[in-house]
């Protein structure tokens, strides 16, 4: 856009210069010829620059999206509605009830246990527990992650290459999954309305079957 303004400005200056050379329009045909050249030049520049502008805009969107997902994985992203919900003890209980109803409670427990594991020092024993419960094939609360991600974690666990970032990609995937799938439906549910009206009190919800303890 700035480039078009610059070209337009110089085009206007050129046009004024051409008119000043022939102020009496003695060579009117010649003047109109130069105006035609100027207009076509501007159209040509617009045609060339527009795809470049679209490409740069898409690149910026992808960069922001990648940055947002990276922040989620590293724990720096703390401004979303889901984050605010999960920061509330009462809110977590209502959201857990919703996930039980949707048969996707494993996502919440994985999120919870990875956070607890990091807070407690990222022990090898804790990492193996998370792998056995959430990652291993046919595990008790197996989460939905890609095969590549699963194999990478499995390899590191078997080689005892335990590092604080071992679950980061899976954690990011599950947070995004909760935020884009379960949470929007939760906001439309009666549980969300109940939470909105009872925030700060004990909801005393019936969570159904016994749920696994955290690490």
Cβ(100)–Cβ(207) under 8 Å?
A: yes
What pLDDT is recorded for position 22? 55
Per-residue pLDDT for 2 more than 80? no
Taking the CB of residue 27, how many other CB atoms lie within 10 A of it? 13
Separation CA 212–CA 164 (nearest Å): 23
Model pLDDT for residues 128-185, shown as the tens digit of each residue? 999 999 999 999 899 999 999 999 999 999 999 999 999 999 999 999 999 999 999 9
Per-residue pLDDT for 11 more than 50? yes
Separation CA 171–CA 187 (nearest Å): 22
Taking the CB of residue 145, how many other CB atoms lie within 10 A of it? 21
Average pLDDT rounded to a whole number, residues 179-199: 85
Cβ(176)–Cβ(69) under 8 Å?
A: yes
Model pLDDT for residues 60-110, shown as the tens digit of each residue? 656 555 444 445 444 445 557 888 888 888 889 999 999 999 999 999 999
- And the tokens for 15? 């046009």
- And the tokens for 138? 């046919």
Separation CA 134–CA 140 (nearest Å): 7
Residue 26 burial (10 A CB sphere; 0-12, 13-18, 19+): exposed
What pLDDT is recorded for position 82? 87
| Max CA separation in the chain (angstroms) | 96
Number of separate helices (H) and strands (E) present in the chain: 10, 0
* Single pTM value for the model: 0.58
List CB contacts of 4: < 8 A, sequence separation 6 or more.
42, 45, 46, 49
What pLDDT is recorded for position 33? 57
**Of residues 203 and 194, which shows the higher confidence score?**
194
Model pLDDT for residues 22-38, shown as the tens digit of each residue? 555 545 545 555 565 66
Confidence of residue 50 (pLDDT cuts 50, 70, 90): low
Cβ(202)–Cβ(94) under 8 Å?
A: no
- And the tokens for 153? 């974690």
Nearest Cα neighbor of 91 from 177, 199, 210 is 199
């Amino acid at each position: 856009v700035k480039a078009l303004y610059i070209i337009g400005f110089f085009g206007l200056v050129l046009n004024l210069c051409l008119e000043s050379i022939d102020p009496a329009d003695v060579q009117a045909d010649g003047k109109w010829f130069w105006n035609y050249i100027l207009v076509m030049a501007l159209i040509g520049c617009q045609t060339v620059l527009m795809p470049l502008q679209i490409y740069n805009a898409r690149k910026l969107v992808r960069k922001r999206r990648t940055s947002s997902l990276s922040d989620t994985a590293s724990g720096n992203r703390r401004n979303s509605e889901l984050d605010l919900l999960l920061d509330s003890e009462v809110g977590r209980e209502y959201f857990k009830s919703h996930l039980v109803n949707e048969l996707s409670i494993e996502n919440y427990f994985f999120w919870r246990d990875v956070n607890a594991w990091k807070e407690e020092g990222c022990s090898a024993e804790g990492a193996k527990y998370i792998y056995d419960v959430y990652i291993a094939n046919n595990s008790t609360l197996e989460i939905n992650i890609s095969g590549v991600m699963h194999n990478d974690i499995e390899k590191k666990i078997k080689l005892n290459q335990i590092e604080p970032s071992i679950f980061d990609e899976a954690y990011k995937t599950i947070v995004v999954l909760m935020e884009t799938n379960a949470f929007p439906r939760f906001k439309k549910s009666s549980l969300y309305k109940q939470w909105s009206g009872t925030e700060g009190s004990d909801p005393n919800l019936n969570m159904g079957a016994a749920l696994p303890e955290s690490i």
